[in-house]
Structure 1
Amino acid sequence: MEKGNKRKLFDVSFYFAGMILFYHLFRFVYFGSIRLAARWNRKAALWAEGRNQWKEKLQQQWKMKPGEQSVWMHCASLGEFEQGRPLLETIKKQYPDCKILLTFFSPSGYEIRKDYKGADLIMYLPEDGPGNATAFLNIVQPSLAVFVKYEFWHYYLAELKKRNTATILVSGIFRNTQPFFQWWGGFYKNMLFQFSHLFVQNEASARLLASINIHNNVSVCGDTRFDRVLELAEHWQPVAAVQAFIHTNKKLLVAGSTWQEDEALIAQWFHKHQKDWQLLIAPHEVDEAHIQQLEQLFSNSVRFTQLRPDQAMPANCNCIIIDSIGHLSKLYKYGTICYVGGGFTKDGIHNTLEAAVYNKAVITGPNIRKYREAVEMKKTDGLFTISSYNELENLVHKIDLEEAGQKAGAYVQKNAGATAAIMNYIQEKRLFTNA
């Protein structure tokens, strides 16, 4: 038996040594590829430039006083930030003396939220590695580390565990196709064991974690995005230029985060029904080339940035193209019905909750399977998926828009409360007793 145990221990050690070697190779290829692409790709260049001399910059900008406490929150990109934001702002409100560091992996998050006022410092997360993780945590000295939804970095998590730093995952969601749940996935599973607590969105995720013997530190508390959209709705402010655009005798389709596949369908439908409908469209990409394409699709349109509250709306204008970011969550409120884009892409739809919170029926493309809230909202008849123009045509004129909107809004209200559950954990564990 003793010989067998030694052999088993050797096999496990050999496995992890092999996976560490593979992980080093992965890091070399992955991070190296991004830096290589930075020569011609703007997004990759931002990723690389934002990490240059990170240690020196962090040492200059982040000073911890004796007895001071801090929270480090990491988000992959903008969507994860919106999930983590309610928790971040609640922590800051209840513990105003606690310092907050916010990191992003992707330029899509950092470049848009680098001026966010709710954190003491915002930066790119340095590349994962033993030296970087140690140096980063030596400077930051977090009392609490928060990872939002996903992005699991081996060396950061291992170093946090080594220091006994409270580390939580919020709004986590797991699928059985992920490496954690495969027979060969021990290395990845080990990352999950580094967390102090995992707050997951649904029971299915909790069952998957239990299947790999992670259950005593798991709580099902839902998605913090519900809390975020409710907060946005509560503090909604009118947009004067849009209000001047709306005709009382016409309905309004608000289409948000659209891709070209969405826009082609919407254009075909809108050209047929513009006598009775107006359109407000906010594309996922707002670069000049794409805005010009939309202007060709919708000839009687005006750009949002060209509107002035003190000027009359251009004659015959029946479409506003939103050509800047940061407005969409307000604009859904004006819709008679809302279309959320991305459902014809591989990655799937964007945030349907931002529309549903205003009691609006939601239409999307067919790819919603990765998005729990969309799947569940569809079951309530508050959200509808389409795969073709004919389905869009039939749907808009068949459903009771007001009733469907009420069902969508009720779904959002029912699923709020994740932020409060996480804050209860933080308070029970007395993570900021000196804050």
Structure 2
Amino acid sequence: MLLLYNCFIRLYYILIFFVSFFNKKAKLLLNGWLNNNFNTYNQSIWFHFASLGEFEQGRPVLEKMRLAYPSYPIVVTFFSPSGYEVRKNTQLANAVYYLPLDTAKNAKEFIETINPVIAVFTKYEYWYHYFNELNKRSIPLYMVSAIFRPKQVFFKWYGALHRKMLTLVTHLFVQDNESKLLLQNIGINHTTVSGDTRFDRVWQNAKNPAHLPLIEQFKNNKPVFIGGSTWPEDEKLIAELVPLHAEWKFIIAPHEITEDKILALVSMLPQNEVIRFSEIKNMALPLGNFRVLIIDNIGMLSSLYQYGEIAFIGGGFGAGIHNTLEAAAFGLPVIIGPKFQNFREARDIIKMKLGFTVNNLTDLKPIADKLINDNAYRQKIGADIKTYVEDNTGATQAIINVIRLKG
């Protein structure tokens, strides 16, 4: 199994090399691997995140550790360019790198260079050689906000190597009891049900959101429907609602902001009523005159929700929905596509009737009509979904209570 794993890692590098000639993300990843320039530390605290979403999820733990152990430099690594490129200059870390490819040589050299006293991984990202090297050096490794499902490789007959990785983790902080029971069934007992640190992060953000004066001007005291991290399938549905609700405004923040994707979105919308955020400084009309605002940058979405009344969270027609909790923390009822089953909070929200799932415009229209036209109904759901988020906070403190540095 390890031989196959090593072959896969090398084949993955070759694939990224060839794809990098025509794919921007692959090129960024390859360049990141080639241009990493590591600082040497006598001791450090190492946080690894797959991407931007996992960074925000693990951020509360990172912030607490930074406050508790200010003398230790923080090293952050990312696997994905979408995380690294946005957070490479974060003030929460002393150094930010792309995680080198998972080979025995790379793992040994990287860990020798940064000398972590502990390593903290968020949600997933299981890399055999890094885990093994940490274990050989008796460096504690923690997995926070982990979640497990029966279909994952750990629970398959061919998952021996991945099960071995779980034994190399010092402690797994899991989101729910189902995950704990699945792990117990394969002999993994070093677990704690701590919950999901995303609740702490979004609740913290909702209490102190960034003030966005231009968004306030666009809102102009009108109700706003927000599309967050949308894909073309989501945008087609939202675009159909725009002419049906003339008294409402719409903000759409696409997941991908390449020029072709933005232009395709613009083409679906009333041309005299839409403006891109990047165009605001050159506009001739007052911002409040526009009905649709497209956010063609990264980093605003988590604070945008404070200006909304309803949110449509994208991704539910593809690999899976994006972060529903950011909107829920501000008390917005959420609408999502059909692929949400892998997300505990989405299952909870749908079960509690605090959110809605749709397959098409036929599903969406009556739900949107009800939420838009019945203020009392919308506000009751908003209050309840906000309470749901608050009731599920506390995972960060539960984790910090267990993680302790020696000395």
Contact 1:76/1:104 (8 A) holds in 2: yes
Q: 2:208 aligns with which of 235, 257, 262?
A: 235
Q: Is the 8 A contact 2:230 2:255 kept in 1?
A: yes
Q: Call closer, same or farther: CA 1:309–1:235 in 2, change over 3 Å.
A: farther
1:341 to partner: Cα distance: 0.7
Counterpart residue identity of residue 341, structure 1: G
Query: 1:367 aligned to 2:323?
Result: no
185-194 or 34-43: bigger deviation: 34-43
TM-score by length of 2: 0.95
Structure 2 match to 1:91: 65
Helix, strand or coil at the partner of 1:143: strand
Q: Counterpart of 1:367 in 2: which secondary structure?
A: coil
Counterpart of 2:22? Answer: 40
Q: Any conservation in 2 of the 1:241–1:309 contact (CA below 8 Å)? A: no
Answering whether residue 82 of structure 2 is matched by residue 108 of structure 1, we say yes
Is 1:354 equivalent to 2:336 in the alignment? no
The residue identity in structure 2 corresponding to 1:239 is L
User: Shift in Å at residue 183 of structure 1?
Assistant: 2.0
Counterpart amino acid of residue 356 in structure 1: A
1:276 is displaced (CA, Å) by 1.8
Quote the residue 1:218 is aligned against.
191
1:13-70 per-position Cα deviation (integer Å, ceiling 9, x unaligned): xxxxxx121112111211211112112222111111111154xx21xx3332xxxx31
Q: Could you state the TM-score of these two structures normalised by the residue count of structure 1?
A: 0.89
- The answer for the alignment partner of 1:421 in structure 2 is 398
Is contact 2:218–2:289 with CA below 8 Å preserved after alignment?
Answer: no
Sort the Cα spacing of 1:317 and 1:293 in 2 relative to 1 into closer, same or farther, 3 A: same
3-state secondary structure, aligned to 2:33: coil
Per-residue CA deviation, residues 228-251 of structure 1 (Å, 9 max, x unaligned), is 111111211321111112243x42
Matched to 2:33, the amino acid is R
Using the alignment, how far apart are the partners of 2:3 and 2:284 within structure 1?
Answer: 64
Secondary structure in 1 matching 2:370:
coil
Q: Structure 1 CA distance, aligned partners of 2:73 and 2:397?
A: 20
* Structure 1 residues 141-177: Cα deviation after superposition (integer angstroms, max 9, x where no partner): 1111111111111111011111110101001001111
Q: Distance in 1 between matches of 2:350 and 2:101?
A: 39
Secondary structure, aligned partner of 2:403? helix
2:263 corresponds to: 292
Residue number in structure 2 paired with 1:72: 46
> What CA distance in whole angstroms lies between the structure 1 residues aligned with 2:252 and 2:288?
19
Is the partner of 1:51 in helix, strand or coil? helix
Partner of 2:181: 207
Unpaired runs of 5+ residues, structure 1, are 1-18
**C-alpha contact 2:332 2:385 (8 A) present in aligned 1:** yes
2:40 matches 1:62: yes
On the 8 A contact 2:232/2:265 being kept in 1, the answer is no
Q: Secondary structure at the match of 1:426?
A: coil
**Structure 1 residues 169-178 or 303-312, which shifts more?**
303-312
Higher CA-based Rg: 1
Q: Does 2:118 align with 1:118?
A: no
Aligned length: 400
- Cα RMSD, aligned residues only: 1.6
Q: Deviation string for 1:398-430 (max 9, x for gaps)? A: 251111111111111011111101100013xxx
Query: Is the 8 Å Cα contact of residues 220 and 288 (structure 2) preserved in structure 1?
Result: no
SS of 2:227's equivalent? strand
Kindly indicate whether residue 317 of structure 2 is the aligned counterpart of residue 344 of structure 1: yes
Q: What do residues 191-249 of structure 1 show as CA deviations (whole Å, max 9, x unaligned)?
A: 0000110000011100000001111x10001111111111111211321111112243x
- Which residue of the partner structure matches residue 379 of structure 2? 402
Equivalent position SS for 1:21: helix
CA contact (8 A) 1:240 1:309 kept: no
Corresponding position of 2:374: none
The Cα shift of 1:289 comes to 1.5
